[in-house]
Amino acid sequence: MVGQRLGGRYQLEERIGGGGMAIVYKAKDLLLHRPVAVKVLRPQFGTDEDFVNRFRREAQAVASLSHPNVVSVYDVGQDEDTHYMVMEYIEGPTLKDVINQIGALPVEEAVRIAVQVCDALDHAHQNKIIHRDIKPHNILIGKNGRVKVTDFGIARAVTAATITHTNSVMGSVHYFSPEQARGGVTAEKSDIYSLGIVLYEMVTGQLPFSGDSPITVALKHLQDPLTDPRQINPSIPQSVENIILKALAKDPFLRYASARDMLSDLETCLSPERRNEPKIQFPVDDEMTRVIPAITEEMLEQAQWEKEGIRRTQGESDDEEESSGRKRWWWKAAAWVGAIGLFFVLALFGMNLVQGIFDVPEVNVPHVEGAPVENAIAMLKEKNLVPQVEEEYSNTVAKGLVISQDPAPPMRVKENATVKLVVSLGKQSIKMPDLKNQNRSVAETTLKQYGFTVDDNTFIEQENDDVPAGVVISQDPPAEQPVVPSETDVKVYISKGKQFVDMPNLVGDTLEEAKVKLYQRGLTVGKVSREPTYMTEEKDIVISTFPFEPNMKVQSGAAIDLTVSSGSYPADAKFAAAPITINLIPGETAKIRFVVDDARGETQLPEETLTESKEYQVPVVLSPTKNAKVTVYKDGNKVQTYSIDYNSLP
């Protein structure tokens, strides 16, 4: 459909996305001269009343919302059998594109995105709209960093009963809530669960539940325990993990009561006093249903056989015990007395042995933080302590120095205890990521992910005829070069698109002069045509340009057509001479000047000084639309005007 015009107004330019029921195009609104996104219902659904109604319901749902984090709907219509919806165009990647590009996002960036999505959901829920398909694919990241929620394709008012339709469950299975997987009633808390999955994926780089089939994944949402995010990414603050765990509770009653409650939690989760808060705990249901194996006929027979065997054994042994019991009681008593005596002997020996083993002297742990690792190890060994060295990169501690120790002074420990030393590897050097051909927003997110400083001087815009606007042309340092992010000043050159120049004014120039001016501006000469003109009798003087006029913005490399004079007047031109007499008093001196206004335009003749009277024949050129007029100025004052009418001439 690219190139097609819908509703006589929206020119489809390129396909930018699509789903199961619709395709999304970038288009131009020819009336308002702005880019828009047009969602077009797939042709096979155009005659399906249910799909058409669902498509219209999406437009109605989004049109009822007005929020900076929700993609706006501008128009909805039908062009013959094509149903379409016109929306705000967001230039930038989806959140899924960003995650696929760089993996786990920095926690601060993930929380920033989640806050905006949660704010959008709170607004939708207050307007009785449930999104029901929250996933990274439906979250757009604009060039300015603003988050926009889109695709309310399966949204429905809160009063609707379920999300089931023709025995199928709609939405995206990896982001389902358990109640969606069951095909049950959908409420606001389903959106909260889906946002929890999105936040989990942003901070860990992976989905909590996956499988070989949609049914497998849906069952995991219902049954499988969640792997804590901090097990995958230990750098996640406990406060952020608590939000994810609460949003992903399988019991909706244990989740946030509303998107507003979750938003309030997100807005404060990165404050210093909350980052290390206790892990959230959920109540345990002792009456939960347990799986008990079915009792089979074979199991009943085995149990009966074992019961009868026990009875027979007891009957035979009763007689024997009665006859020999009196003989054994004395031996049993003697054995018990001997065992008790042996126990006390061994206990006394063991206490002495244990006391000798555990009576280990205590020593003060020396302070070794900031010391060279060799010195730190020597100081610990001097105290009969065992150093355990671990290494990690540090932007603040020089290579080979101890970053931290555990335990640390003023603690006292037993000799031969282990002291953990974290030793600096220095600043981490990485290979400079390749940003070329990425969108600006993706490039900026990538730089932040690797720890580079991004400010107003990082991105530099340049005009470029080959690279689309908003895309990286080049970078410094180049890709793959080893760099330390905290010490590297990165320059990223972004395309502004094709270069535009000002169209020069060529009218009145000779053809050769015009060619030089066009060449200097990066423009070329197109078609050259010659025509008679009233402007001049000289040949090859530029009369007009096409298709651009002077001072218009012209794309570099454009061809400019020139119309130049042929060296003759048009066939309908008429020629005359205006007879003018200048009378002077004897001895008078005057400065005389003529201004001619005719088909050639307005021309001022050279000024002349007279000392006596004189007669002039001033030549003029007339056209059917332009008469001639000659104005006489004496000593700067207008004294006479002589007019000639075109129709008065033969």
Are 94 and 139 within 8 A, CB to CB? yes
Clarify whether 133 is annotated catalytic: yes
Alpha carbon separation from 400 to 101, 375, 378 (Å, rounded): 34, 10, 14
Question: How is residue 153 annotated by DSSP?
Answer: T
The two tokens of residue 15 are 């396909």
| Residue spans of beta strands (DSSP E) within 10-61 | 10-18, 22-29, 34-41
Q: CA 251 to CA 472: how far, in whole Å?
A: 46
Q: Give CA separation, 649 vs 533, 535, 576, 626, 644, in Å.
A: 20, 21, 8, 13, 8
Closest CA to 394 of 378, 375, 373, 367: 373
Tracing tokens 């061809």 back to the chain, one arrives at 559
Nearby residues of 37 by Cβ (< 8 Å), 6 or more positions away = 16, 24, 25, 26, 27, 71, 86, 87, 88, 89, 90
**Residues in Cβ contact with 485 at an 8 Å cutoff, skipping those fewer than 6 apart:** 428, 430, 450, 451, 452, 453
Element (H, E) at 147: strand 147-149
Dig out the tokens for 585 from the structure: 């008093």
Q: What single letter denotes the amino acid at residue 42?
A: R
Distance CA 482, CA 428 (A): 10
Bridge partners, 586 (sequence order):
none
Largest CA distance in the chain: 182
Cα–Cα distance measured from residue 186 to residue 131, given in angstroms and rounded to the nearest whole number = 10
Going by DSSP bridges, is the β-strand pair 472-476/491-495 parallel, antiparallel, or unpaired? antiparallel
Q: Give me the torsion for CA of 214, 215, 221, 225, rounded to 10°.
A: -110
CB atoms within 10 A of CB 22: 21
User: Cβ–Cβ contacts within 10 Å for residue 320, how many?
Assistant: 9
536 CB-contact burial (10 Å; exposed 0-12 / middle 13-18 / buried 19+): middle
Please, which residues have CB within 8 angstroms of residue 255's CB and are 6 or more apart in sequence?
189, 192, 193, 196, 246, 247, 248, 249
The end-to-end CA distance of the chain, in Å, is 63
Measure the CA–CA gap between 489 and 385, rounded to whole angstroms: 44
Peptide linkage before 35 cis (omega within 30 of 0): no
Q: In the beta sheet, which residues pair with residue 229?
A: none
Distance CA 221, CA 214 (A): 11
Cα 449-455-461 angle, rounded to 5 deg: 105
**Residue among 133, 151, 191, 509 flagged as catalytic:** 133
Q: In sequence order, which ranges of 35-103 are alpha helices (DSSP H)?
A: 49-63, 95-102
CB 388 within 8 A of CB 433: no
Q: Which residues are catalytic?
A: 133
